[in-house]
Amino acid sequence: MTGLLLSLVLIPAAAAVAAAWSTARAVRAIAVAASALTAAGAVWAATTVWSGPYRDLFGELPWLAGIADSLVFGVLLDPLSTTLLLVVTLIGFLTVLYSTAYLSTANRGHATPDHDQPRYYFWLLAFLASMTGVALSPNYLQLFVFWEMTTVCSYALISFYRDRDGLRAGFKALVMTGAGGMFFLVALLILFVNTGSFDFDAAARLPGPLRGWFVVLLMVASWAKAAQVPFHTWLPDAMAAPTPISAYLHAAAMVKAGVFLMARTVAAGWEVPLPVALVLGGMALLTIFVALSFYFVQDDLKRLLAYSTIAHLGYVLLGIALGGLGSSTALRGGILHILCHGFGKATLFLCAGAVAYATGSRSISALGGVARSMPLTATAFFVGTAAVTGIPPFACFWSKLMILAGALELPGAIGPTLVVVLLAESLISFSWMLYVGQKVFFGATTPVAMVHKDPPPAMSISLVVLMLGCLAAPAVGLALLWR
């Protein structure tokens, strides 16, 4: 089992190295094969360890021997990490598949020459490896290492086109998430110095006030990584990245690492200090509405989706915060939201990518009537919208429902208040997304949108699978988290 889980990290890592040295034609095959293998392995691992968490520590740091628990590297697969693992590997595979068609000279939005391909797949596979590493980390130290690796990969991929905007955005993302990483490091040091351990549950041994600061530091780190207020500004700029990257890193996977950290912390079984949980929840709520306020002024389809991502990460953190306040349903709902939102938002991004691929435009005001020539993309976009905004029976309905139900488990008026506030947000964001969807896909066909057909098969297949995922994800997630 350990071997299987390790291979989930090693296969993409090895493939990344291989990709760096191969030709443009071979690199696609390598990437697809590696990511498919990883996804299959992840599914296999998930089904094998369905019955209970699996934990195995084996690696040690010689210079830490005697000071701390010596085994600091290993694997951990519990429902939480399974959730993230499934998101990362499945959507990763679909992203790679999609990229094989998207990154080509036929792309009207961003033609990519062949000699750039190895670089792209190297970083993408490296990211996949580091992300599975994040998911499987058994303690804070390993988590931190892979966490920082994702940051680096993210930087490289945002700046992939090497244009001015891309470079600026990549640097901005690097600085802001890197700064967040510093907070993580400080928290790590506090934990290590005081308890001599990196374990997730070691924080229980921290003295009271220090534990509060520890969580606050982690919280800041996760805000930076997950682009929460006040660090939300890097994510929209990161949309300068190729669209598959936006879908994968900046909607489904990397930003989820931030909320994953908080989920790990809150799920570790010790009590999160009440004020910290309140701050976490309050900021999540604030983020949701700040992000919402940016919807109405966006003309770039991807930027709109980026703000929506920010809001939904807020949902996850809200669920986690409610979990910190004592509602296990909300915590699981938040984790479920990682899965559900991953599929929904990836669908939307890949649709936006498909539209940009075919028309060369991402501008909401310039596009119109795209559905005439791209019915599949249109279908996928509306499925994605329904999934993200929580139209039953699609994905996010279930996770939002769980979060709301969890909120109502708490005593007092906090639950009903949250229900009202969140449902209002859902309605507004739904309305706007629907409006945008109709604007882009229906109505009279604008000159920009005069194209002939749906994207190539590789992209279409990804879209179809993601649509199915939008329906299936909550079923899997509910079964996984409430077994």
Partner 1 sequence: MAAQSLLGWCVALLGVGAAASLIVSRRRELAGWVALVAVAIAWVPLALLVVAGFSRGVPEFDVLALPSLGARLAVAVDPLSALFLAVTAVIALAAVLYSVHYMTHYRADGVAKFYPVLLVFFAATIGVLVTQDLLFFLVFWELMTLTSFFLVIFERESPASQRAGLKYFVITHAATLCMLAAFLLLWRQSGSFHLAAAREAMGVMLVERPLTAHLVLLLLLIGFATKAGVLPMGDWLPDAHPVAPSGMSAVLSGALVKLGIYGLIRVFCGLLPAASSFGWGVVIALAGTGSLLVGALTALRQNDSKRLLAFSTIGQIGYICLALGVGVACLAEQPALAVVALAGALLHLVNHACFKSCLFMGAGAVLFRTGERDLDRLGGLWHQMPATAGSTTVGSLALAGVPPFNGFASKWLIICSCLLAGLQRPIFMVLGLVALFASLATLAYVLKVLGAVFFGAAQRRFVVDEVPVSMALPQVALAGLCVLLGVLPQLPLRLVSPAVTAAVPGGIPAAGDVLGGLLGISITVDGATVAGWAPLLVLATGIVLSALVWGLQRMGGATVREVPVWNCGEEHDSGIVRYAASSFYLPFKQAIAGIYPRLSLRAPRFPSPVRRTLEMDSWLYLPVARLMERVSHSTSRLHVGVPQVYLMWIVLGAIIVVGLVMVVAG
**Interface residues with partner 1 (CB under 8 A)?**
172, 175-176, 229-230, 232-233, 290, 293-294, 296, 329, 369, 371-372, 375, 382, 386, 391-393, 397, 401-402, 404-405, 408-409, 415-416, 419-420, 423, 426-427, 430-432, 434-435, 438, 442-445, 478, 481-482
Amino acid at 100: T
71-77 vs 54-60, strand pairing mode: antiparallel
Shorter beta-carbon distance to partner 1: residue 213 or 442: 442
Q: 411: which DSSP letter?
A: S
For the bound state, the minimum distance from the C-beta of residue 75 to partner 1, rounded and expressed in Å, comes to 27
For the bound state, the minimum distance from the C-beta of residue 234 to partner 1, rounded and expressed in Å, comes to 9
Encoded tokens for 77: 């697969």
Residue 326 · residue 266 · CB < 8 Å: no
Block residue for tokens 């966006």? 298
Backbone angles phi, psi at 299, to 5 degrees: -110, -25
For the bound state, the minimum distance from the C-beta of residue 193 to partner 1, rounded and expressed in Å, comes to 20
Residues 6+ apart with CB under 8 A from 47: none
Shorter beta-carbon distance to partner 1: residue 119 or 372: 372
364-393 burial string, b = 16+ CB within 10 Å, else e?
A: beebbbbbbbbebbbbbbbbbbbbbbbbee
For the bound state, the minimum distance from the C-beta of residue 371 to partner 1, rounded and expressed in Å, comes to 6
Shorter beta-carbon distance to partner 1: residue 176 or 280: 176
Residue 5 · residue 136 · CB < 8 Å: yes
Query: Long-range contacts made by residues 28-33, C-beta under 8 angstroms, separation at least 24?
Result: 28/100, 28/117, 28/121, 30/121, 31/96, 31/99, 31/100, 31/121, 31/124, 31/125, 32/93, 32/96, 32/97, 32/100
For the bound state, the minimum distance from the C-beta of residue 211 to partner 1, rounded and expressed in Å, comes to 28
For the bound state, the minimum distance from the C-beta of residue 482 to partner 1, rounded and expressed in Å, comes to 4
For the bound state, the minimum distance from the C-beta of residue 244 to partner 1, rounded and expressed in Å, comes to 26
Residue 234 · residue 176 · CB < 8 Å: yes
For the bound state, the minimum distance from the C-beta of residue 321 to partner 1, rounded and expressed in Å, comes to 19
A 10 A CB-CB count for 462 gives 30
Rg of the Cα trace of the chain? 21
Shorter beta-carbon distance to partner 1: residue 198 or 394: 394
Residue 160 · residue 121 · CB < 8 Å: no
Shorter beta-carbon distance to partner 1: residue 216 or 405: 405
